[in-house]
Amino acid sequence: MNHSPSARAFAYLLLAPAVLYVLFIVAYPLVDTVILSFTDAALKPETNWVGWKNYQKIFKANFDDVILRTFIWTFCSVALKMTIGVLGAVLLNAAVPGQTLFRILIMPPWIIPMAIGIFMWGWMYNGQFGMISGLLQNFGLSDGPIAFLGYGKTAFWATIVTDVWIGVPFVTLYMLATIQTIPKDLYEAAWTDGAGRFYRFRRITLPMIVPSLLTMSMLSLIFTFNSFDIIWILTRGGPSGQTTTMIIDTYKSGIGSYKYGEGSARAVMICLFLSVFCLAYYRLISRLNPVEAR
Amino acid sequence: MKQPRPMIDRYRWYELLGIYAGIFCLLFFCLAPFIEGFNVSLKPLSLLFSSPYRFWPENPSFEAYRTMWVSVPAFGRYVVNSLFVAGVVTALVIVLVVPAAYALSRFRFPGQSAILGGFLTVNMVSGAVLLIPLFRLMRSLGLLNTYFAMIVPGAAFLIPTAIWLLRAYMLRIPRELEEAAWADGASRFYIFRRVILPLATPGIIVTAIATFLGAYAQQFVYAVTFNSKTEYMPLPVGLFAFFGRQEVSWNELMAASFVGIAPALIVILILQRYLVAGLTAGAVKE
C-alpha cells in the first residue's frame, strides 16, 4: 500500500508544509547570505554589486585572529565537555543509592532558559562580590578580587566554563544512555575472570563507547562553534575583542553596525567551516553505524 | 528495588567514597550557580555588596521576591510572553511535523534520504548565522517588533529535532493496523487521522514537551534582534535589559530569575523519566 504512485503523492503532500517552511526560513536566507556577501548592502536604500571586496576587506583586518580564537575556544570547550561528560556518565552509571536523584540533579543547566543561567554566571564571575573570586580569597588562593570578565585571558576561560556548564548535562546523559546499551554479560564474564573495575572500564566501557563519543564530539563541535548567547551576554565579545568569536564578530558587523554585506561575508565563512564539519559528521555516522544512515 | 544488589555491583568503601566524591564535584559544578543565585536572592542589597565574601546569607529574607515586582514592573508580562511564544512555536512545530514524520516513517519515495539529511543539516546551522538575511526577511514581511518575529524563525530551527524524534517513535508502531484498515477500504487520510494519530499520541506528547522546553530555553537571539518593544519581550530578554543597567539590583534579578525558571524546574521533576528517554531517543540507536 505504501509504494504506489498515489502513496508517493500522499507522502509528498504530508511533507510539503514542513519542507516549504524550512526552505523559506532557513534555505532562502542561506542563499541570501551568499548573495549579500558580494554586495555593499547596508541601511542605505541602494545596493551595489562589489565582487570579492568584502572578503578582501575582512581578511585585511584581523579576521584570521578571530578564526584562530574561535577554534581554540571551541576546541577547549568541546574537550572539557567530553571529558566531564564521560566521567559523569560513568559515575552516574555506578549502582549506588541516590542514583536516580543525581541523574535529575544534573539536568537544570540544560533545561532552564539559557540566558538566565548565563545571568547567574555573570554574578559568579563578579570580582568584588561573586562566588568564585570570593571563595578563592576565603581559601587564601588569591590575594585580591579577580574580575574574571574584566581581563581578556580570564574572560576567555570564563565564557568557556559557562559553555561547558550548559553542555555537560546533555553529553553526560547521552553517554550514560550509551553505556547502558553495553551488554551486561560482557562485564559479568570479565568479572568472573577476575578483572578489576578499572580494567573493565578500560577494556570494555571505553572501546564500546568510542563510536558514540566520536559522534557526540562532532555534534558538540558544531553546536559549540555556533555558540552565541553566552559570550554576548557575558562580555559582548570584549574586553578589547578577546572573546570575539566568528559568530559574535558577524553579529557585531552585520546587526550591530548594519553592515549587511560585510557581515554576510563573515557569515559565509562560518557556513564554509560548518559544512566541512557537517560533511565530517555525516561520514563519521555512516561509517560508524551503517544502519542509521539509511 | 528491594532485591539485593548483585555481587558485581558491590563496592568497597573507598570505591564508594570515590564515586560519591566524584558525583559531588559534578553536581556542585552543575548546581553552584543556582545555589549562589538563590543565596543572592535572599540577601538584602546592603549586605550583598559587602566584603569579605560570605557564602551563606546572614539575614536571609524573601524581600527581593516582593520588591522585584516593583523594580521590574513588566515581569508578569515577560513570563506570559515567554510561555505564549513557546506555546505557539510548539503548536506550529507539531502541526508541521506530525504529517512529515508519518511520511518519512512509512512511505518510500525518491528524495527521502535527501530530505532527512536536509533536516539534519538545518539542525547544524544556528539561527545566529542567518540573522542578517532573517532580519531583512522579517522586515520585508512586516514582522519586526511583533510576536511573529520570535515565533517564525524559532519554529523553523526546532522542526528538524522534532521530526527525528517523532519519526523514531512512529517507526516502532506496527504496520498491521494500517494494513488492516487499508484492506477494509479506508482512505489514506482516514488511516492517518484515525489509526496513526491515536497510536502516535504518546510520541507526539514527548515531542511537544521537548519542543516546548527547547522553545522556552532558547528565547534570546531572535527576541533581542527582531524585537525592541518591551510589551513583547520574553523573560530572558526582559531580564537582560535589567542586567545591562548601571546599578544592578542583583538580589531582585536573581529572585526574578528563580521565578522565571520555576516552570522549567517543575517540568523536570514531573517528567524527568520521559525527558531523558525522549531527548536522547533521537540520538541513540534502539
Among candidates A129, A165, A267 on the partner chain, residue whose Cβ is nearest the Cβ of B132: A267
Residues in chain B within 8 Å Cβ distance of A85: none
CATH class of B74-281: mainly alpha
Kind plus residue range of the DSSP H or E element containing B85: helix B75-106
Among residues B281, B263, B104, the alpha carbon closest in space to that of B203 is found at B281
Is residue A89 within 8 A of residue A201, CB to CB? The reply is: no
Which residue of chain A comes nearest to B243, CA vs CA?
A: A119
Q: Is A22 on the interface with B (CB under 8 A)?
A: yes
Q: Provide the number of structural domains found in chain A.
A: 1
Confidence of residue B60 (pLDDT cuts 50, 70, 90): confident
Whole-model pTM: value is: 0.86
| Whole-number pLDDT of residue A187 | 86
Q: Are A26 and B130 in contact (CB under 8 A)?
A: yes
- The verdict on residue A20 lying in a domain is no
In a 10 Å sphere around its CB, with 0-12 CB exposed, 13-18 middle and 19+ buried, how is residue B276 labelled? middle
Q: If you measure CA to CA, which chain B residue comes closest to A130?
A: B53
pLDDT over 70 at B245, yes or no: no
A20 touching B, CB under 8 A? no
Q: How far apart are CA B221 and CA B88, in angstroms?
A: 18
pLDDT in tens, B4-48: 666 677 788 888 898 999 999 999 999 999 988 888 888 877 777
Taking 80 as the threshold, does the pLDDT of residue B1 lie above it?
no
Q: Tell me the CATH number at A136.
A: 1.10.3720.10
| A227 closest CA partner among A211, A204, A246 | A246
Could you tell me if residue A223 is inside a domain? Answer: yes
| CB-based contact A249:A266 (threshold 8 Å) | yes
Contact criterion met (CB below 8 Å) for B264 and A116: no
Q: How far apart are CA A160 and CA A121, in angstroms?
A: 11
Residue spans in chain B of domains classed CATH 1.10.3720.10 = 74-281
Residues A205, A182 contacting (CB under 8 angstroms): yes
Residue A202 lies in a domain: yes
| Chain B residues with CB-CB distance to A177 below 8 A | 276, 280, 283-284
Chain B interface test: which of A35, A112, A200, A212 (most B C-beta within 10 Å) = A112
Nearest CA to A247 out of B234, A256, A120 is that of A256
ipTM value greater than 0.90? no
Give contacts of A32 with chain B, Cβ < 8 Å: 133, 136-137
Cβ-defined contact of A95 to B179 (cutoff 8 Å) = no
Left, alpha or beta for A113 (phi > 0: left; psi -120 to 50: alpha)? beta
* Residues in chain B within 8 Å Cβ distance of A213: none
Rounded to whole angstroms, how far apart are CA atoms B21 and B78?
40
Alpha carbon distance B237, B255 (integer Å): 16
* Cβ neighbours of A36 in B, within 8 Å: 132-133
Rounded CA-CA distance B123/A219 in Å is 10
Whether residue A293 is predicted with pLDDT greater than 70 in this model: the reply is no
In the numeric block, the cell 531583512 is attached to: B136
Residue A214 lies in a domain: yes
